[in-house]
Amino acid sequence: MRRIITMTVNNRPGVLNRITGLFTKRHYNIESITVGHTEIDGVSRMTFVVNVDDERIAEQIIKQLNKQIDVLKVSDITDQAIVARELALVKVAAAPATRQDIYTLIEPFRASIVDVSKDSLVIQVTGEPEKVEALIELLRPYGIKEVARTGTTAFTRGAQKAGSNQKTAFII
Amino acid sequence: MAKMKVEEQAKTKARMSGSLMLIEALKAENVEVIFGYPGGAVLPLYDELYKAGVFHVLTRHEQGAIHAAEGYARISGKPGVVIATSGPGATNIVTGLTDAMMDSLPLVVFTGQVATNVIGSDAFQEADVVGITMPITKHNYQVRDISELPKIIKEAFHIATTGRPGPVLIDIPKDVTIAEGEFDYNQDVHLPGYQPTTQPNHWQIRRLVEAVSQSKRPVILAGAGVLHANAADELQQYAEQQNIPVAHTLLGLGGFPADHPLFLGMAGMHGTYAANMALYECDLLINIGARFDDRVTGNLKYFAPKATVAHIDIDPAEIGKNVPTKIPIVSDAKAALQELIEQQGKPADNAAWLAQLNEWKRRFPLHYEPEAGAIKPQKLIEMIYEVTGGEAIVTTDVGQHQMWAAQYYKFNRPNRWVTSGGLGTMGFGLPAAIGAQLADRSATVVSIVGDGGFQMTCQELSVIQELQLPIKVVIVNNQALGMVRQWQELFYDKRYSHSLIPNQPDFVKLAEAYGMPGLRAKTEAEAAEVLKQAFAIDGPVLLDFHVCADENVYPMVAPGKGLHEMVGVKACEELSQ
């Protein structure tokens, strides 16, 4: 099962190493990580997408992360109302004959062309990972030369639906 | 507390070098002893140690220093302090850090580092110690600026000793130990990401009280958490109030008196029949401060299959990690037990259960076959128990001798037992005895080690001799790596691959070379005689006991088996004694 875990951490040297090291030690598989500053000085936000076998391991991950001194807060937000976004850059082969097709194709995805060269285009798309996935699949027949994806970054929406499953780190 | 004297307060704000700050901080933390080994990167620090006249034990290898600090921490309850130099000094303490991490021992370890301007250049004696030790410390730091040093040391002591204890490492570049800065050790520790829960949730406590009252076959599994929380009295009071039998993990031994009628013995791979069957048959399992290690549970599929599991642990991550838990109580063991006692719940209706357990205890005791003339290792432990009146601090390595010591030395009070549990470190017992003796100067300390593990840290005999610590070093000498040999006998068709060591050195001469008496025994009668001699000497003695080489540790739960599938269990009527 795929879980989205977000956390805030002290922005100290080695903190990313600490977290990824923990995943290695405990044998958890990371699908993606994003890290960046937050509104608070010295605090960074990390978003992990992990694949785990069951709930128990998901719970263990949260608890182990929580034990890290530099981790301030951890939440598994998978089952909450969330905003999850990813950015991808896709370099696709584009001969003059297919160029117009590609323009039309990407439009419903609200993707944009950010670089044009003689025989290729670079397309930028943002959105939920499934949407990014879908666009890449549609572009594949044209000949994808390179893909760079940021991985998912996410947080919870301002308003949560009543009864949404709030996952907290402790089971006291 | 008395108000701080004005001059002391002034001193804590003074400008001083990083090295002196470290010394001042250690004084403020009431550190009585440092275990360490000097080297290039810590020269400025050792210079201040020299001037300050702090009690420092120079072990003969950094591994000895850290195991000694572990032994000190286990017995004193205070953090063990270690200093090692950069590079090889630091990498030599990796085993000890892992050992302390696994067994939750509080340590504050200082490592030297090359100067900040050459970090990352593969400088002489440089190693990425923070990177190397990240997964094997509770937390670690590299001090990048002198201004951070006092705060970091204060945090390190706080983190090492609170919550679930563990080792904290501070890596200090050489230039930081020389640089000057303002020393203020009165700041409060502020760690928003570290707020251990120490008080139990009342609702969960009430659920446990209710579960006990409904239970017919309750059992307590008590681990080292009871000892770390200083909760042995509360454990006994609670067990007696509720009439619940108690089994111990290896590391928990001494938390509950071994001669108490409710005591079932040690559980696990080499546990007693009564303890293991109690865990298998119980309907309510109350784990207090144990982490359901695989050596305790055996195959999880068959572990406590009929039980509701309650787990009291200060580390929330241990609850539900290996065993699904119905009643989770995140708390210090003492606080939880106190509240359970106060609740005065209705005790379980468990007369039939206790009768059954007593029958198992009586009928299937620990046993061994006596052998005329030879020294049975189990008998040897019993003899040591007798000669020390059951009051000694016992330290061990890992392996057969460790299991025999755990089985046959009956620990009746806490903090008498120092062993490497989680990591299972050979070479632990001898240096750990040094730390244990320094933590309790008046105690009788017996270091029971195997002939294999002894040789991994035997250079520390030098320290024992130098400080004239009256430690009795007992080598259970079977000319083999006994536990490896046992597994090869049982599971590898007696192919003794590299586990037999028939050409061990003359350990008696070795002792003499280190300036201490050495005694040897090859028969039970000789053993009795040399034990008497050794314990009459008020000083260190090494004893080399040639025991039956092919003796195995039983009973045993083979790997992959459940606790109820023990081998080597015999009913008392089948025993020849």
- Whether B159 and A69 have beta carbons less than 8 Å apart is answered as yes
Asked if B483 is an active-site residue, the reply is yes
Which residue in A39, A49, A60 sits closest to A85, CA to CA? Answer: A49
Mean pLDDT of B147-169: 98
Distance, in Å, from the CA atom of B132 to the CA atom of B128, rounded to the nearest integer, reads 6
Q: Considering just the CA atoms, what is the radius of gyration of chain A in Å?
A: 19
Q: Which of A14, A24, A64 sits opposite B130 (nearest CB)?
A: A14
The ranges assigned to domains in chain B are: 6-182, 202-363, 377-553
Residue A75 confidence (pLDDT) above 90: yes
Same topology between domain B6-182 and domain B377-553: yes
Residue B3 confidence (pLDDT) above 80: no
CB contact under 8 A, A21 and B135: yes
Distance, in Å, from the CA atom of B291 to the CA atom of B312, rounded to the nearest integer, reads 10
DSSP type of residue B522: S
Q: Which CATH architecture has domain B6-182?
A: 3-Layer(aba) Sandwich (3.40)
Q: Which residues of A touch B139 (CB under 8 A)?
A: 69
Distance, in Å, from the CA atom of B440 to the CA atom of A76, rounded to the nearest integer, reads 47
What angle do the packed helices B43-52 and B18-28 form, to 10 degrees? 50
The predicted model scores a pTM of 0.94
Q: Which residues of B touch A64 (CB under 8 A)?
A: 317
Q: Which residues of B touch A68 (CB under 8 A)?
A: 193
Q: Which residues of A touch B192 (CB under 8 A)?
A: 72
CB contact under 8 A, B159 and A69: yes
Kindly state whether A22 is in contact with chain B, defined as any CB-CB distance less than 8 angstroms.
yes
The dihedral over CA atoms of B201, B206, B209, B213, expressed in degrees to the nearest 10, equals: -160
Chosen for mutation from B143, B319, B325 (greatest number of chain A CBs closer than 10 Å) is B319
Distance, in Å, from the CA atom of B236 to the CA atom of B245, rounded to the nearest integer, reads 10
Residue B112 CA, distance from chain mean position: 26
Closest-CA residue in chain A for B197? Answer: A172
Query: Counting beta carbons within 10 angstroms of the beta carbon of residue B270, is it exposed (0 to 12), middle (13 to 18) or buried (19 or more)?
Result: buried
Mean pLDDT of B282-304: 97
Distance from CA of B538 to the nearest CA of A (A): 46
Asked if B125 is an active-site residue, the reply is yes
Between strands A82-93 and A120-127, the pairing is antiparallel
pLDDT in tens, B391-449: 999 999 999 999 999 999 999 999 999 999 999 999 999 999 999 999 999 999 999 99
Element (H, E) at B63: helix B62-76
Residue A172 confidence (pLDDT) above 50: no
Chosen for mutation from B134, B145, B148, B313 (greatest number of chain A CBs closer than 10 Å) is B134
Chosen for mutation from A19, A52, A171 (greatest number of chain B CBs closer than 10 Å) is A171
Distance, in Å, from the CA atom of B168 to the CA atom of B136, rounded to the nearest integer, reads 9
Query: Counting beta carbons within 10 angstroms of the beta carbon of residue B428, is it exposed (0 to 12), middle (13 to 18) or buried (19 or more)?
Result: buried
Q: Which residues of B touch A10 (CB under 8 A)?
A: 193
Q: How many residues in total does chain A contain? A: 172
Phi (first) and psi of residue B91, to 5 degrees: -70, -25
Distance, in Å, from the CA atom of B156 to the CA atom of B137, rounded to the nearest integer, reads 11
pLDDT band at residue A169 under the 50/70/90 scheme: very low
pLDDT band at residue B574 under the 50/70/90 scheme: confident
Q: Which of A20-24, B112-116, B427-431, B483-487 has the lowest mean pLDDT?
A: A20-24
Mean pLDDT of A142-156: 94
User: From the candidates B4, B8, B9, B124, which is the catalytic residue?
Assistant: B124
Mean pLDDT of A70-80: 94
Query: Considering only CB atoms, which residues of chain B are within 8 Å of chain A?
Result: 130-131, 134-135, 138-139, 142, 144, 159, 191-194, 197, 201, 204, 315-317, 319-321, 324, 328-330
Distance, in Å, from the CA atom of B384 to the CA atom of B547, rounded to the nearest integer, reads 14
Which residue in B574, B552, B559 sits closest to B365, CA to CA? Answer: B574
Closest-CA residue in chain B for A21? Answer: B135
User: From the candidates B16, B125, B466, B561, which is the catalytic residue?
Assistant: B125
Grouping H, G, I as helix, E, B as strand and the rest as coil, residue B207 is: helix
Asked if B142 is an active-site residue, the reply is no
Distance, in Å, from the CA atom of B370 to the CA atom of B348, rounded to the nearest integer, reads 41
**Regarding predicted confidence, which is higher, B5 or B162?**
B162
Mean pLDDT of A28-45: 93
Averaged pLDDT score across all residues of chain B: 96
pLDDT in tens, B328-339: 999 999 999 999
Q: Which residues of A touch B134 (CB under 8 A)?
A: 14, 17-18, 21
Distance from CA of B506 to the nearest CA of A (A): 42
Distance from CA of A94 to the nearest CA of B (A): 45
CB contact under 8 A, B191 and A66: no
Task: Give just the sign of the alpha carbon dihedral B98, B99, B101, B107.
Answer: negative
CB contact under 8 A, B317 and A64: yes
pLDDT in tens, B505-528: 999 999 999 999 999 999 999 999
pLDDT band at residue B383 under the 50/70/90 scheme: very high
CB contact under 8 A, B317 and A60: yes
Domain B202-363 has CATH 3.40.50.1220: yes
Residue B7 confidence (pLDDT) above 70: no
Distance from CA of B203 to the nearest CA of A (A): 9
Element (H, E) at B218: strand B218-222
Q: Which of B2-16, B154-168, B304-318 has the lowest mean pLDDT?
A: B2-16
Q: Which residues of A touch B330 (CB under 8 A)?
A: 170-172
Q: What is the pLDDT of residue B1?
A: 41
Write out residues 44-103 of A within 8 Å (CB-CB) of B: 56, 59-60, 63-64, 66-72
pLDDT in tens, B106-137: 999 999 999 999 999 999 999 999 999 999 99
User: From the candidates B483, B516, B556, B566, which is the catalytic residue?
Assistant: B483
Distance, in Å, from the CA atom of A136 to the CA atom of B491, rounded to the nearest integer, reads 54
Q: Which of B130, B138, B328 sits opposite A171 (nearest CB)?
A: B328
Domains of chain A: 2-76 (3.30.70.260), 84-153 (3.30.70.1150)
Distance, in Å, from the CA atom of B431 to the CA atom of B58, rounded to the nearest integer, reads 12
Q: Which residues of B touch A71 (CB under 8 A)?
A: 193
Distance, in Å, from the CA atom of B474 to the CA atom of A1, rounded to the nearest integer, reads 53
Averaged pLDDT score across all residues of chain A: 90
- Which CATH code for domain B377-553? 3.40.50.970
User: From the candidates B174, B361, B379, B472, which is the catalytic residue?
Assistant: B174
Write the DSSP string, A56-115.
Answer: HHHHHHHHHHHHSTTEEEEEE-TTS-EEEEEEEEEEEE--HHHHHHHHHHHGGGT-EEEE
ipTM comes to 0.90
Residue B577 confidence (pLDDT) above 60: no
Closest-CA residue in chain A for B191? Answer: A69
Closest-CA residue in chain A for B194? Answer: A69
Q: What is the pLDDT of residue A163?
A: 54
pLDDT in tens, B189-245: 999 999 999 999 999 999 999 999 999 999 999 999 999 999 999 999 999 999 999
